[in-house]
Amino acid sequence: MRETSGEVALMLRQLAEALEGDKAVGLSLAGESVVIPADADVRVEYERGGGAREFVVRVNWGLVPTAAYLVNRHGDQLRDSAGRLYDVLVYGEERADGTWEGWLEFAPRTSGLPAKRTGRETTQPDRDALEHWATGLEPLYLDGAFNRAS
């Protein structure tokens, strides 16, 4: 599937308008007419490594919803610029292809503050590998993830 920049821009614009209007959208993808429902799960992911960078818009629908799995409650806590403490939780869920993706959630110890969550931080071949990854996160990584989280 090879689209021109103009075709990609048009698809993104149509998708954005449908998301803003909470409506379904029909797109032509790989020669097929595809209807994306209004309740589709839309995620934006950014990865970099080894000099390469990747920006992905992932749209999923029609999947059986799965509950996120709490992989690890990190022993460290983080403090924001105002001095408020956050617990560090690592969550994961199985993807349609059988691999597992993981993300971090920062749960405030102060009531009334919202939790902060990163996008996908890793993709691992199985749950055991995700658990192994989660146990090796260092404070410097956690600080960077906290700054990326929204």
What is the pLDDT tens value at each position of the chain, 150 positions in all? Answer: 567 888 888 888 998 898 888 888 888 877 788 888 888 888 787 777 778 888 878 887 776 556 789 999 999 899 999 999 999 999 999 988 889 999 999 999 988 889 999 999 999 999 999 999 999 999 999 999 999 998
Which residue, 60, 86, 101, sits at the end of a domain? 60
SS3 helix, strand, coil % of the chain, rounded to 5? 25, 40, 35
- Same domain? For 50 and 75 the reply is no
Structure tokens at 85: 């403490």
CA atoms within 13 A on the CB side of 8: 7
Amino acid at 70: L
Number of domains in the chain: 2
Say if CB 104 and CB 90 are below 8 A apart: yes
- Same domain? For 98 and 51 the reply is no
- Same domain? For 83 and 142 the reply is yes
Q: Considering the entire predicted model, what is its pTM?
A: 0.61
131's enclosing H/E stretch is: helix 127-135
Write out the residue range of the structural domain in which residue 30 sits.
5-60
**In whole angstroms, what separates CA 134 from the centre of its chain?**
16
Say if CB 104 and CB 86 are below 8 A apart: no
- Same domain? For 29 and 80 the reply is no
